[in-house]
Structure 1
Amino acid sequence: MNTTWNIRIDVSLEYTERIDLDLRARLADYEAVIAAAYVAGKPAPDRTSIQLTLSAPTITDAQAAATSAVTTALAEVGQPAELVRMDTMPDEDFTTEIDDTALSLAGTREISEMLNVGKARTAQLIERPDFPRPLAYLSAGRIWNLNEVRAWAETWDRRPGRPRARFRGPRVGEDESS
């Protein structure tokens, strides 16, 4: 039984638009995505990242097929390059990982709707020291990472209704001396 695999291969070749077009054309059967490579979240200017999707019975077979496809495509475009990194995972794990790391943004309106509170209460909540910090301050207002706000909301000790007022004086109709 075959599994669909998602494989990222980084090669020692500077990314250019021409390399992107040439490799995508030769690797079209693998739903190839070609991009500038990043290592630890920072651009790696001397690397190109090649993402492939393919079907194979084992991880070893998938890696062998991907390596062969990439080295053949590189040779065909006259750009032999060394493979410097390979990450392989089942496609469903890859999809889950992408979904988990996708950045969703929220402004105060989205936060109000998510927490089911009004504008005034939202304004109070976003000023709390335990509320997530905004990602950016835009002319339209502040924006937050929605996943961080959701995580905060799970720990929020929400108490419905208004707090009871503490009465410090005599009640209506009561004498102050009693």
Structure 2
Amino acid sequence: MENQPDRPAGEPQSPVRADWRVTVTLAGYLDAEDATKIDHTIDSSVTVIEQRPASERADVTVAVDAAGLVAAVHAGLAAVARGLADAGLKLHVVGVQARTAEEYERERAEPSDLVNAAEISKILGISRQRVHQLVERPDFPKWRYNPPTGKLYDRHDIEEFDRHWDRTIGRPRKTSRSE
């Protein structure tokens, strides 16, 4: 029979230190300058800032070394709070999610329904230059995330736009000045 440690039944074992990724969701929008300020003030080997303009939220993900889930959440919240304070920003925390670094990387590797300008051009059958013109239209879907590699859009939103988009082929006619 194995030796059992002397501890009450149901009490969890001491957690082992691990590398965690803690994502703190903030109410509000961070412009590029604010995101850069936060990135430079947070003391973390990994800082990922993603915008969600449709819901007016920003996710700040930081790497922390902690002994268990609760300690990871506390460390992540503290790191983001310090970063916001040092950057002079007052945004409210509306959510937090913590997962091991391995789980975070597994989730990020899963295919998503987010598409970039190159993929939008294929979906709509147009050039990337034309995509960059279309995104300025008020009826074009809002981007979901803005990582450093470029804005990402929801594939479903782009496909819905394609179904209702009134395509005008060719260049607009020039009008004479006398008209």
TM-score range, shorter chain: 0.5 to 0.7
Q: Structure 2 residue aligned with 1:73, among 83, 86, 90?
A: 83
**Quick one: distance in 1 between partners of 2:81 and 2:48?**
15
SS in 2 for 1:136: helix
**Quick one: distance in 2 between partners of 1:37 and 1:9?**
13
Q: Does 1:88 align with 2:88?
A: no
Q: Which amino acid aligns with 1:88?
A: A
Aligned to 2:44: 29
Moved over 4 A (4+): none
SS in 2 for 1:6: strand
**Quick one: distance in 1 between partners of 2:88 and 2:43?**
18
Q: Which amino acid aligns with 2:109?
A: D
Q: Does 1:136 align with 2:147?
A: no
Aligned to 1:108: none
Aligned to 1:44: 55
What does 1:101-120 align with in structure 2 at a 5 Å threshold?
101-102=111-112
Aligned to 2:66: 56
Aligned residues: 106
Considering fraction of residues, name the structure with more strand. 1
**Quick one: distance in 1 between partners of 2:124 and 2:104?**
32
Which structure 1 segments of 5+ residues have no match? 106-134, 141-178
Deviation at residue 65 of structure 1 after TM alignment: 0.6
Task: State the Cα deviation string for residues 31-67 of structure 1 (Å, max 9, x = none).
Answer: 11112136xxxx222x221011111111100100111
Asked whether the 8 Å contact 2:26–2:58 carries over to 1, the reply is: yes
Deviation at residue 139 of structure 1 after TM alignment: 6.5
Q: Does 1:7 align with 2:17?
A: no
Larger radius of gyration: 1
Q: TM-score, normalised by structure 1?
A: 0.52
Percent sequence identity is 14
**Quick one: distance in 2 between partners of 1:67 and 1:80?**
14
Task: State the Cα deviation string for residues 57-114 of structure 1 (Å, max 9, x = none).
Answer: 11100100111111111111221221101111111111111222257x9xxxxxxxxx
Q: Which amino acid aligns with 2:69?
A: I
Q: Which amino acid aligns with 2:90?
A: P
SS in 1 for 2:55: strand
SS in 1 for 2:91: coil
